[in-house]
Structure 1
Amino acid sequence: MSLKAVGKFVSQKWFVGLIGLIALSLMIWLVGPLIAVAGHEPLKSETSRFLVLLGLMFIWGVVNIRQQKKEKKEEDESIQSLLEVNAQEDEESAAEIDLLKGRIDQAIQVLNKSGKRGKQSIYKLPWYVLIGPPGTGKTTALANSGLEFPLSDSLGQDPLSGIGGTRHCDWWFTNKAVLIDTAGRYTTQDSHSEKDSKAWLGFLGLLKKYRTKRPINGAIVAVSLVSLMSQTRTERGMHARAIKARIQELKNQLGMQFPIYIVFTKADLIAGFNEYFADLEDEERDQLLGFMFPESCDDEKGVISLFNKEFHHMLESLDKRMNKRLEQETDLDKRALIFEFPKQLRMLQANADEFLGDIFAKNAFEESTMIRGVFVVSSVQEGMPIDRVMNETSSGLGLSQLSLKTSSKESVSYFIRSLFEDIIFKEQYLGSVNRHHQKQNRWVKHGALALSLTSVAAFGAIWFQSFQWNQQLIDESDSRIAEIDSQVKRIDFNFEDNLIESLALLDKVMQLPMGYAGYYEDVDGIKKFGLYQGDKIGQPAKAAYHQALKGYFSKLLESALIEEMNENQAHREYLYETLKTYLMLFNTERFDLVHVESWFELYFEKNFPGEFNEEKRASLMQHTKNLLLNDDIGLYVNHDAVRDARNVLTQLPLAERAYQRMKLQFIKSHVPSFRLTDVLGSQSLSQFERKSGKPLSAGVPGFYTFNGFHSIFQMQISRTVKNLMEDNWVYGDNINIHTVDHDLAVKGVRERYYRDYIYEWESLINDISLKATPSLELSLIQSRILSSSERPIESFLKAVQKEVSLTKVSLSQNEKVAAEVATKAADVALHNKKNAIGRFMPTENTNLAISLPGKEVERAFEGIVKIEQQDFELINQSLVGLREYLADLSSSGNNQKLAYKSILDGTVTEDVARSLKRTNAILPSPFNRWLVGLSHESTRLAEKGSQVHLNQIWKSQVVKAYERSIKGRYPFSPAAKREVNLKDFKRFFGYGGTLDSFFTDYLEPFVDTSGRNWRFEKEIGVSQETLVVFQRAEKIRQTFFESDNSVKIDFGLRPKYLDQHISKFKLELGSQKLVYSHGPERTQSLSWPSSSSETRIIFIPPNSSREISHTYEGQWGLYKMLDQSLKARPETRKDNIVMIDLKGNKVQLELIPTSTINPFWSNDMERFSCPQTL
């Protein structure tokens, strides 16, 4: 017997059921005695087990017999119904149907005689439908496929009347499948469309009715290559649409998806086909010529988009074989045909791609089609081949065509058999089942399956579960122990040096089956039927875990405690808690499990932070808890570490330790922090800021507030000191802490608390300030907010008063504090709550003030505490006055002018400033600085407004005149060519002139001119340097102007020297003349300016009529001459000797001023300039 036959035999249903029956029988026979139900063992005796086995065999036999009868009946009914219905659909073909019915009956009889039923019966074989236009060669392809037809001896090779065409449906029964060859008219439906459509749909209905689960296993679409070559594009499109419609009807009517195979027939009618493949043997002709598609493709057109690529690969393989054929063939005509054959196929590629694209291209409105491949076949070699290559070449070049002949050889099939047997039949299960049938029978199948599985599971679980579970338990235990053993040998099991791997290894020891973690401990009764091994496995697993904890993990905990004690000696409170935790491990009387676990939990969070280490922390904590549950943790006291820690702790006074403990414990409590944001609204808060840059929401911790003082500090101070005194075992037996006075320690704690209390509040108060207001608008907004109904300054002061007034609490406040502490006691871990609250409970229902501790804080803030309501009213009045003043400035159309007048009058600004200064004396620092700042700010705004007003006038009156007639002109710019007109000079600098009028009208009331340097007696927004301009202008005025406001300077000139080669020297100043001829030195009185607008000097040599002269043009000619002389002889400024040198001719003149103010050598005019702004 062959392997294939053996495989078919063992895969039959009855054989599989028999194997299951034998296995079930063995289980019943072997495991049955172990089953007990309520103490009764029904399968203990061999007789009872034998009867159960007989019953099972009987049931199995009955089920198989019924199944076979049912299958035979369904098969007979299916075939009979097909024949009868087909006859009814086409009465005109009754004779043919009778012939078909006779042949089918004969085939059934032959099958019955041969005994080939079951798997090989007609009903059980896969069914395939062949569709395609008429004349495509579907029937011929089947007849010449080389497939085995088991009925051929009795039925004949042809199913009906031959190969002349199929009228209805031909049924081909092979040994591997049933092939239904449909008439071509069913596909095209182009002659009697209504009749053909009804026949086609009726045929589909029969398939769906009698093969409900999977009506067909696939569809084969036959297309003639001749049609692709000869038909027009329109005709090809009509056939493509018809085929597409039939495929959609198959899918819709049968309710399933199925594979589709495209078979291009009549390849022998392509010129060169017969010649190209003439050398193939029988087995080579059974091979494939074509290609397969993948089941899916990413291209939006679907797998059909791969046609051109795969067709090209096929042509490449033909091209590779062509050289061999050309070498073999000697006939020139055949060689030509062989050479052209791949080109013939290539010319069909475009038509084939278009044709298949019309059928199988993806459509958003249709379900995609499962096209599996495209294949080329030839059934018989009949007819005249078509040579498209030569036709086109000949017509294009005008050559005669090569005459083609029909094949004279016996017809053989090409590339068909392997297509069916190796491709199509092997994919018989690729298609889906009928969706309607699947949905209809789902519950039935599931119910039957569930019932079967439940029955088998019930017996199988009872018989095998105990054995299997216990065996699995043993195997897993052995496997894990071996794994742990190998890891112990491989790694250093040391938590201090190799934490990660050691921790993972300890986790595995804890998770041993039936071990400490409890894995597999939840065992039901079935698992314990006589084979339970949990106790034997669990005991050593737990012992191994305990040993690992004591021998290895405990060292990690001890190392952590000692390391923390050594590294945190500066943090004494943490050192104390660490030492206390360490000592608890060795003192069962003092041991507090919650305390120790809390310490280690905090330690793991500090050393292994973050979400990344969450699992590690959980594992460490779990092992820690498991270790602490044991009485013996395998550790010994490290006396050196304990001694060092105690030495550090005893250096700190008890009061300091108690205070630090309270601070750490209660700095974050239920008592809320004091925040300015809780006192003031958002509008008021917008006017304040912190100098340090901290947010206003940052405040004073609740521990240092009124509520914190009374509800925490007062209630906890004595208890904290007492607890520390009682913890003398932590400090060591040699430390007698009871000798310390309790009250003295409490006093020391209070002093430290008051010190920090005062510091916290001073830091907050000194850090808060009002925001600067750089503009009038912002100042007005600030004054409105500060004087609003919320009164932010008053609210802040009252809030501070409440928090620092610790010595007086009303009765109602007492009750409130006591109730708050009672409801939130859990947050501060209070002990004996009733006594703690009772200390502050009043004995009588009065509203008397109760004197409490806290005077030290009140004394520190005495200036704030003593402020009364009348003081707040005075503050508010000052702020209202400031607001009204700023509002007047803002509402005025010319607020700068109003600001100037307010400073000039000195009424409004002084009243506001005086009021703010008066309230300033009431407030302590730094609140008084706020009001001083507001006073300065109001004055600054007035000064700024005044400055703007004065600058507007200054620019329009003074600067404009200065730039027009003075700036850049001589003598104010010595190098300038243009000079200042004396009228402009008088108009600008004279008494009552531009500068003098501006000073008199706007600045003089505020300026003290009595000193050497002028100064402002009151700030008006003008800089002190501005007065230098007016002071220089005053000196110019005194120098050049007479009391009648005329410009006049009287002076004298006395000749001192004249060159010998010059007989006479003349100086003409207008009509005024000075003449010198080496005579006595006489003083000539002169005045400036003169009637003429020029100054002239003349040198006259002896006995010569030619004069040497130079004229200094302009009204300032005299000054130009003197400036030139000063440049030549700088000493002139000191001795007033004027040296005139004209072309080597020199004269010296002594300049004699008539006034104490020398009008000639001063640089006031050169240094004078008008700034753009004051």
Structure 2
Amino acid sequence: MIFKMKDYKKYSISYLWICVTFIWASLISSAVWSWGSLLSFYGYHPLANNLHRLYALAVIFLLWMTGILYYLTVKKKSILSETAAADIEPTQPDIATDTDTEHFFAKHKVKLGNKKKGLFLIMQLGEANPSPLIPQIIRLAPCGQLIASEFDRRGQAGWAEFTSAIYAECCSTIRSADQKLSALWTDLISQCARRITTLPVNSLIITTDYATITNEQQWQNVQAAIMDMTKQLHHRLGYVPPVYFLLKDAQTISGFSEYFQSVSDLQNHALLGITIPVTAKIDAAAYEAMLARGFKTLQKDIEAQIAEKLNRFSGQHEPHALFWFPARFADFLNQYKQRLEQLALFLSGIGGLPPRAAAIACCTTDHVRFLKSFLLYVHNDTATAEHIAAIRQRRRKRRTGLVLASLLIIGLSAGVWTYIFWQSREYLAAFSAKLSATDAALSDMNKHPQKSFSLTSVVTPLLMTRQLMDEQNTNLLRRMAVGSDLRRSLIETHDQLADKYLLPQIVQQLETELRITGTNYSSRNHLFDALALYLSLAGRLVLSEQDLQQLTQNVFKTLGQDYAQNDQMMREIKDLFRAGRVPIRPDNALIEQAQLQLTDLSQASRALYLLEQYSQAAGLSPWQASEIIGPDADDIISFRRPETSQYRIPGLYTKSGFDTIIIPRFSDAIQSVIKTEKVWSKIRPADPSTLAQDVLTTYSTHFYQRWTEYLLNISINPPEVTVVSNQQGMQIRGTYKAPLLKLLSNIAEQTALIPFDTKVSSDLELANNRSSWKDKLPFASLRAFLKNNKTTGTELPLSDQLFSILSGIEKLQARLDTADSTSDGSADLETKLLEQYRRLQELTPELPFPLRPWMEQFSENAKPTLGTAIKKSLGNLWDKQNYGICKMLTTNRYPFQQNTSDEIALEDFTRLFGPDGIFAHFTNEALQPYVDTKSLPWRWRKSSARFLNKASLDMFEKADLIRRSFFQADQKMPSFTVKIRAQKLPDNIAIAIMQIGDTSVSASAQQNDTVSVSGPVSNNENSSKVLIFTDKWHEIASADGPWSLFRLLDQGKVTQITDGQYRVSFAAQGKSVSFLLDFSALYPAYNKALLETFRCTTLN
């Protein structure tokens, strides 16, 4: 089969063009519909009145494109499928001569150039006239350029000389019986292997004339040469590929194959693949018939394997080459059936026999007709037809999936555009309503000039609308693809209102106030100061450089002064506005009055109001809105100083005059609060929007000003707490920048200064829009805590508990500083101090901010020294009172030590491991707070693991296991129960008896008893023994004492069957008897490893 790539490319490009056109048309339709919706609402475009027509056209266009795509991809299957159907028609190659070989292979190449999935290393040796097909095969094979380039470099004559030299070297090596290859041969193999290490080698094909091989020694030399060659490949590649030998006559094949099949080393190394004869001439008809018969014979044996290969490739891995070596299959079919099966697997494994496989001939020059017959056979194969049908089905599914995915993407895009512009319509509608309300308010002021209007009622609505346009349009409308023309038209409308209504009203208001104060209207200084003061409030929120130029000109025109004659004054006002501050003159009464009016107006509350308006229009919380505004947020709160990072605002009035207070910029204050929230995670209230409100509310009153600076400072930089020790490393004391108790008292005093009853302006109430705003101020939980609000139940308030604990720590530390570190009183103080710290750790999670992080830091810094104190306290308690007793009772005592005659008495055993013993009492009373006994194995708790060692913990855990094994019901004395039964006796033993104390277990040929025995027995004369009777009684093992049963088992061979079940065998004088012992319990008493590894250790 010859695949028509040009047709496939043509229809693929058409298909791609259809998809791209459809997606592009859908996006354009969505854009036209969205813009039409916006323009229709405001009437700024002639097409706005035809919105519904535009929408209808867009829908029709989408449906039209969908229909075309459906018709082309579903109904017109022939576009992409007819070509595939034509592909299975075999193309008849009309190549008959060697001169057309290159053209033949170029026509049949089919994707061989880019597929590098294998490598065939072809080495043709000893051919005086190498076949011209060899370089063609090499060029087509992936990565075959290695030898092809060598061929091109040398030319045909040079190649023959090169291969002849290698052949001569090989023959010389064989004749001389040398076991190593010559340098030329080794160099060729090394170069090839070195340059192919990055790709897998599928096979190694060797062709040569072995007619000179006549005896056994020569065959051995060939074997050694091939083995050395494959070792070179294994060294370079890491594995040995199959080797295929191409032989010329049947006699050589017979001798070669018989010899190499008998060599196990070659078989183990997979050196022999197939030996294939090569003939000089080809009969096309005979080969075609021979090929058909051969494949039909093999099909029965390898049909399942070929089908598996076809399914594995399934069209995903295109074949890269199919090497075929013609041979006389009919003559050698029965003799080499197994080799033919291997050859079929070799072909299917490399090419998979898919429909587009390329067939390449090798070793002879006139194989074109054979290739033709082979291609015809492959095309007519049933498995190949099924493979082609499967490929078509997969293509059809891929096309359908692409269409559905395109439709889904287009639908989602249209939905997103619809949502965005629908939200834009709602926002612009609300904005238009606010603009209309402002226009109406200002028109009313113009119609009734005699009516008194305050500056707040004039400035606030106009600032609100202009601020919305200036800030929101920049951040929101621009993101929603609304054009600059629409925004410019809205701003121009607003500026016209400002020029018409705002400036005359400001001048009128100024004139009225100047007359009230008795100041002459012509006073330049007074007018300059007042005008700068009010316009700073009104203008800095909205003025750009262009707006500033226009406003300054309008001010002078309104005041009746010529702009050209007052250029200096205009520059001063512009510079004043840019600098963002006003000159302070203490002797100016007007400035003092304006200063008080500014305080009443509450800049912070108005800024909060604007911030809330912005956040509502944007659909964001004030917290998010302030982060979006970023550095420009400081324009909302006060006057800007571009050259600094702080504001200067008029401060508190004092007898000495006006004081200038520097406070953080608004954005810096927000960032400080954000930093505090991230560090301590407790400052943000439940409602995120209240955080920005609280900060602004705090700045709105001068009482809050200093207080908030103080609290923010100590929140970000809490008091440093360090815990150090004296020279002996055993005492604890704290060093603080300020005493903690005094600091808490200072917080309580400062909190009491907050004027909770301060009257809030109407703007502030409007901004907060809640009645309980006083409860939302910063550190409300801290104030409640310091007011000693009673908790539920009979417990003390948290503040009383905290002050009690801290007072106790300070007192204990003071006493430890003067106490003797070696006295018992010092150890008692340390124990009490540890108890206070445990109470503090339990109370810390319930504390409010910022007390909780302070206490956590205090405890964390105290851990190293506390660990030393805990280790010393526990070590003194254990080492002084218990370690010596434990060491004395267990050292060189059975069962803790083998091969010793001394035993631990049962009373001493109970004193150590009993329910009220030394280990149980110390674990429950002293060790429990520091050990997690519920885990297996035991482990120190996190707070204790850094200063207590693991060996001491193992000692207490083993002691607990011993207690559970011997005191299972909390008895006063150790006890256990074991069931004993004798196994079948051998023929030379009539009776066997195991006696433990007064209890005996006997066995005979007629009866085996199972007896329960209790122990250990508190009797030094207690004995255990094993007796057998043959012709007389024989004692083969015995032991005395309370641990006699354990000692008796030590004399036998003990084998553990299950957990708690053992088999013990006793042997003497050629006679042996076995018993089964069952200690089954949750914790079996007989555990030699536990008892023998127990050792007493210290804690220090």
Under a length normalisation based on structure 1, what TM-score does the superposition of the two structures give?
0.28
Under a length normalisation based on structure 2, what TM-score does the superposition of the two structures give?
0.29
